[in-house]
Amino acid sequence: MSKKSISRRGFVSLVSKAGALGALISTPFISKAGELIKEEEEFGFLTLPYLQSPTATSITIMWLTNKKAFCWIDYGENGILDKKAYASHNGLIEANCGLNKIKLENLESGKVYQYRVVAKEILDFKPYKVTYGKTLNSESYSFKTFETKSDNVSMLIMNDLHDRPESIGHLINLNKNDPYDLIFFNGDMFDYQTDEKQIINHMLKPCTDAFATKTPFMYVRGNHETRGKFAREFVNYFDNISGNFFFAFTQGPVRFVCLDTGEDKEDTHPVYAGIVDFDHYREVQAQWLANEIKKPEFRKASFRVVLMHIPHYYSEEEHGSTHSRKMFADLFNKGKVDMVICGHTHTYKVHDRKPGTHNYPIIIGGGPQNGERTLIKLKANTRKLSLQMLNDNGNEVGSYALGKDARKQDWSI
């Protein structure tokens, strides 16, 4: 390897383990004559593919290339990648971009599929002449669609890692070989949003290294993902169900409701410079939630779990917490929510149900310092909802179990 190649390895290291992913990202260097020279970049992937927005019949696959390209997915069953999927909108197939988001649809429930992502470099894009360069294939990966009639669900939850990418792999390793359906990031994975490279190196790379090529993750923002100059582009790098950071989905016996609690201070606070609108955003979510709790899939679920970043109790009396309480607390009780899981306070704690105030436990995960990080393991079958919270040494620091019959009994109180 040349000295030049070695000097570029910092950012490139994210693809070095990828085998087939041969991206080399250059940095300008100074020639002997003092002239700034942009070293020729080799076309490549910036990330491995990461799975988003899983359902029983669809899944979204995302990835990035370092140059503009035309990308697609080859996929199929039993190792035969005989189908292609593109992102097509208004008659045009998405191309000439680096950020790729393609949804595989019409899949079968509970089935294993294999896929690879393909990227064809676009060297020049003229109206009647597109010039292509190299074509790259990723390795082949597998995923399994959600099962429509599954009686079980298993989810791992992390929160408040605050730009500590090594925490993702560390916490997931605490799970050992216990199977799980998906991972949920409950906000504040970053301190604030700076650029694409931060999202790649602090989130996407550790996720694809650990799990995200084969197991999907979902994500709600905390009060830190809303900050910084890249916060308005941030949303493009993820794909939640409904395309929003508030959404609901059913997996196994649980209806999950995910809310975006927004910022922690008043919208008028000077630090936001007059360009946030979170009170209105939470009001919109409350209207959406009022409708959600009337839906059959919510009412008939064996258990109902809310995931949101800022707890509406036990988080001092900051505005993000009190306004979330005003917007959501009555609806949670009215909808007979079984559990609310949050982060934000950086102090892990299991708060038992407080009948008449919050008729459900509020679980708060910790972070971001070593010794304060947590991995929350949530499991359910049709009879029991159970949660276990591990600290970053793998020791249990909290748990909660709820039987379906016990819950019904509680409701009659």
- Residues at the interface with Fe ion (CB under 5 A): 188, 222-223, 344
Nearer to Fe ion, 253 or 343 (CB): 343
Kindly report the three-state secondary structure assignment for every residue of 107-137.
CCCCCEEEEEEEEEEEEEEECCEEEEEEEEE
Cβ proximity to Fe ion: between 224 and 377 the closer is 224
CB of 375 to Fe ion, least distance (A): 18
Nearest to 103 by CA among 259, 264, 240, 289: 240
Chain-centroid distance, C-alpha 219: 3
Residue 316 CB, nearest approach to Fe ion (Å): 12
Q: What are the CB-based long-range contacts (under 8 Å, 24+) for 81-87? A: 81/114, 81/115, 81/116, 81/140
Give me the amino acid identity at 214. Answer: K
Shortest Å, Cβ 368 to Fe ion: 10
Give least dist CB 344 to Fe ion, A.
4
Q: Give the Cα separation of 288 and 239 in Å (integer).
A: 19
> Which residue lies nearest Fe ion, judged by its C-beta?
344
User: Please, which residue, 66 or 315, has the CB nearer to Fe ion?
Assistant: 315
Our CB check for Fe ion shows the closer of 104 and 276 to be 276
Longest dimension (CA), the chain: 83
Residue 211 or 245 with smaller CB distance to Fe ion: 245
Least distance to Fe ion, CB of residue 345, Å: 8
Q: How far apart are CA 390 and CA 375, in angstroms?
A: 5
Q: How far is the CB of 227 from Fe ion (least distance, A)?
A: 10
State the helix-helix crossing angle for 278-292 and 319-334, rounded to 10 degrees: 10
Q: How far is the CB of 223 from Fe ion (least distance, A)?
A: 5
Whose Cβ is closer to Fe ion: residue 222's or residue 365's? Answer: 222
- CB atoms under 10 Å from CB of 342, counted, come to 31
Nearest alpha carbon to residue 310 among 326, 292, 295: 326
**Residue (202 or 407) nearer to Fe ion, CB:** 202
Q: Based on CB atoms, which residue is closest to Fe ion, 223 or 285?
A: 223
**Phi and psi, residue 90, nearest 5°:** 55, 35
CB 185 to Fe ion: min, Å: 12
Q: What is the Cα–Cα distance from 181 to 346, expressed in whole angstroms?
A: 26
Name, in order, each residue with C-beta under 8 angstroms of 64's C-beta and a sequence gap of 6 or more. Answer: 45, 46, 47, 98, 99, 100, 196, 200, 204
Residue 22 burial (CB < 10 Å; 0-12/13-18/19+)? middle
- Closer CB to Fe ion, residue 265 or residue 336? 265
Kindly state the DSSP code that residue 194 receives in the 8-state scheme. Answer: -
User: CA nearest 223: which of 197, 255, 259, 191?
Assistant: 191
CB of 224 to Fe ion, least distance (A): 6
Please, which residue, 55 or 193, has the CB nearer to Fe ion? 193
CB of 299 to Fe ion, least distance (A): 31
